[in-house]
Amino acid sequence: MSSPPDFDRDLRSIHEARTLARAAVAAQRQIEQFTQEQIDAIVEAMAAAGLRESERLATMACEETGFGKQADKVAKNDFVLRNVVEAMRGMPTVGVLREDREQRVFEIAEPVGVVAAIIPTTNPTSTALFKCLIALKARCGIVLSPHPAAKACIKASADVLHEAAVSAGAPRGIIGCMTVVSMEGTEELMRCEDTDVILATGGSAMVKAAYSAGKPAYGVGPGNVPAYIERTADVQQAVRDIFSGTTFDNGTLCSSEQSITYDRAIREQVLAAIQEQGGHILQPDECERLAPVLINLRAMMVNPKMVGRPATTIAKAAGITVPEGTRVLICPLDGVGPQYPLSHEKLSPVLALYEVADWQQGCERCKELLSFGGLGHTMVIHSQDDEVVMQFGLHKPAHRVLVNTVAAVGAVGLTTGLFPSMTLGCGSWGNNITSDNVGPQHLINIKRLAYGIRPFESSTVAAPAPRSAATTTTAPEPPAPEPTAPETPTAETPTAENLERRVQDFLRGRGIIGAIAPEPVGPAARSRTSEARREPAAAAREMQPPEPPRGASPVASATVRKATEGTEREAVARSPSPRPVEFVAEDDVRQAIDRGEKICVGPRTIITSLAHELGNQHDIFDRR
């Protein structure tokens, strides 16, 4: 007889999230009092313990998820435990960070608090180790929410580092990991009052949830990394690097190469190198069979069952026969976009292949690929022409433009001088808060101690004139000679209640009261803002202030403009306006285009890359 369903699993998950977050808060309040020496000793102890368990954790990850290669997962763990820790050595995260002696400003570190860390199934142990290390380096507590398909290896990674930290003097509870995993529990962890910041690595739905949780969040976007081989490149080395990247842990890193674009002039060299490196070029009908196996065509997302699988396994699932020893499947394509599904991010040893006439066409092709699900992330160019390389650096919508290296590991900082990290920001292009390789510096608030360095000269600030009966009376001012300079401002502050009266009094006193019509208020003004979807130029013309009468003085003209601008702002402020939506997808933009409407968006609105590009092309967004 089957066991009864666990009806209260979501409640237990929520309870666990709250309990772990409270424990992390208590521990974090203790550790924030530690010295730099104490913090550094704890981090070193954690790294040493992680290295002793690196192989065991990697084996657990492979067995639990079925993704990638055990040896490569060991390499990723060791990268975190060695390279990331080495980069953090000597980095100040306690007390005074910097001092500007000339300006007498001191920058002082404060931990952000408790981190809610979302851990993916593609790189489970290395990401868990990384986030725990940078959190404690910044004197933060951390609670991990593991992917359900990798919760055992992620919990084991957290336990190894937690016990090492406690043994080195850290308070117990400084690292926590959920064991009852559910969407409800993860959302509670991100939203609860004890959480201060979110580090989200995972699918687009999870990253969207993180940004909607009402807390500061570092989310990362997809890669879809293009690799371009320019005619001056060392072709053999370029193809070797690209294959090394896309086969490293079977392509599970978001920075792994997803396509090859090459110049037509080196076509024969590229194709020969592909075959020498173990690539198998598919026929058009084989590409058509592969696409629905590798990509969910309705959602335009990679099939999780094919992520991190060997090329031969993927080919077999698609009914394609490939030579023994095939390392990479190569799919020649004519374009980019939903009609070419294999131009999407694949997270497996499968590469799209494009031929272009020259670097200018190669430049545009790489832009298209990045725009199709990889904006802001990473691209790599193989070239010996520094001018072409610089053009790519200046004009590509990627925040990591790599040169003559393996993109998969160059982006994380293994083969480049970038800060070593397992969390790569995509900036505003990818709807992320940062374009950096995330590190402990992103988990520190900086407060500034600033001394006065120059006296306050009160004579440089105009003092208000004393109040007079003329400024408080409701009677019209008597006619006066036209002034030649602005009048001294009075102490009375314009408000929504007295602004119109004061404007009318002023204009009546200058004898021009009948020259302009008062700006409409109430329903008339409200209708102006409610028609935000009208043709922009017409709306702009209607919103222009009326011209002052011919012959009016410069002061009167300026006053008319200020008065009408003020009443217009008052009317807009009192008018109802649409609320920004929370999420915009490409279909939302297309529907808005068909209806001729705008989409109201705000600073917290999540906009997918394709929606962002299409919406900007058609001026769809009403930004609030």
62, 254, 331, 366: the catalytic one is: 254
- The answer to whether 423 and 438 are in contact (CB under 8 A) is yes
Q: What gap in Å lies between CA 624 and CA 581, rounded to an integer?
A: 10
| Distance from C-alpha of 296 to C-alpha of 585, rounded to nearest angstrom | 17
Q: Which residue has the tokens 């800060």?
A: 419
Three-class SS of 15-77: HHHHHHHHHHHHHHHHHCCCCHHHHHHHHHHHHHHHHHHHHHHHHHHHHHHCCCCHHHHHHHH
- Name the 3-class secondary structure at 448: strand
Q: What is the largest CA-CA distance in the chain?
A: 100
From the centroid of its chain, how far is CA 260? 26
- Rounded CA-CA distance 265/355 in Å is 10
Distance CA 208, CA 606 (A): 7
Give the helix ranges, DSSP H, for 464-553: 469-472, 499-509, 523-530, 536-542
Give the Cα separation of 338 and 498 in Å (integer). Answer: 58
Collect all residues with Cβ–Cβ distance below 8 Å to 443 and sequence separation of at least 6.
111, 112, 115, 134, 135, 138, 140, 197
Other C-beta atoms lying within 10 Å of the C-beta of residue 177: 25
Pairing state between β 606-607 and 301-302 = unpaired
C-alpha span between 164 and 44 (Å, rounded): 9
Residue 586 φ/ψ, nearest 5 degrees: -60, -40
Residues 6+ apart with CB under 8 A from 204: 221, 222, 301, 608
Does 254 participate in catalysis according to the annotation?
A: yes
Residue 437 CA to its chain's centroid (Å)? 11
Residue 204: φ, ψ to 5°: -60, -35
- Cβ neighbour number for residue 509 with a 10 Å cutoff: 14
* b (16+ CB within 10 A) / e for 99-123: eeeeeeebebbebbbbbbbbbbbbb
User: Cα separation of 593 and 387, whole Å?
Assistant: 40
Residue 292 one-letter amino acid: P
Burial, 361: exposed, middle or buried (Cβ in 10 Å; 0-12, 13-18, 19+)? Answer: middle
Q: 108: which strand partners?
A: 96, 447
Contacts of 559 (CB under 8 A, 6+ apart): 503, 506, 507
**Residue 49 in tokens:** 């313990």
The token pair that represents 285 in the structure block? 């009908």
Q: Which of 313, 309, 298 is nearest to 344 (CA)?
A: 298
Is there a contact between 154 and 36 (Cβ–Cβ < 8 Å)?
A: no
- Beta strands 599-601 and 621-623: pairing type? parallel
Provide the token pair at 11: 């409640």
As annotated, the active-site residues are 254
